[in-house]
Amino acid sequence: MTEEGKHSKPSPNGPKFIGKVFAARNLTKSGPASYAYAMPGFKDVKFVDVGVFLQNGKRVLNRTLVIQDAKGSWYVHPSPSGNPLLSDGLNDGTPSAKDFSEAYNVKK
């Protein structure tokens, strides 16, 4: 991101804005949730699909790993590929359909 910030124009494949956030879903394999539950301080692990519009007008879908702590707060894992026990099956599921706002009450 530092390099991107040095350019006068954004890269065509760079993100422009988030178009849609989908509801969190369970991974296709049970191992990551079991691992998270067994770890001190963790409660659950899921994924969230995020639709992004790029600078060039194209759309992409990014799959993000999210982890719930023992207090119920959710956090985005910055590099799920670095932890295969938590991310096993992350990219195996079908694209999400249920919108985030349909599944959760969001305070504004």
pTM above 0.75, yes or no: yes
Residue 2 has pLDDT above 90, yes or no: no
Instruction: Tell me the residue range of the domain where 47 lies.
Output: 2-103
Average pLDDT on 67-91 reads: 90
One-character DSSP codes across 25-89:
B--SSSHHHHHHHHSTTEEEEEEEEEEEEETTS-EEEEEEEEEEETTS-EEE-S-GGG-HHHHTT
What average pLDDT does the chain have?
Answer: 89
The reply to whether 46 falls in a domain is yes
**108 domain-assigned:** no
CB–CB of 71/64 below 8 Å?
no
Of 55-59, 76-80, 104-108, the one with minimum mean pLDDT is 104-108
Number of domains, the chain: 1
User: What whole-number distance in Å separates Cα of residue 102 and Cα of residue 106?
Assistant: 10
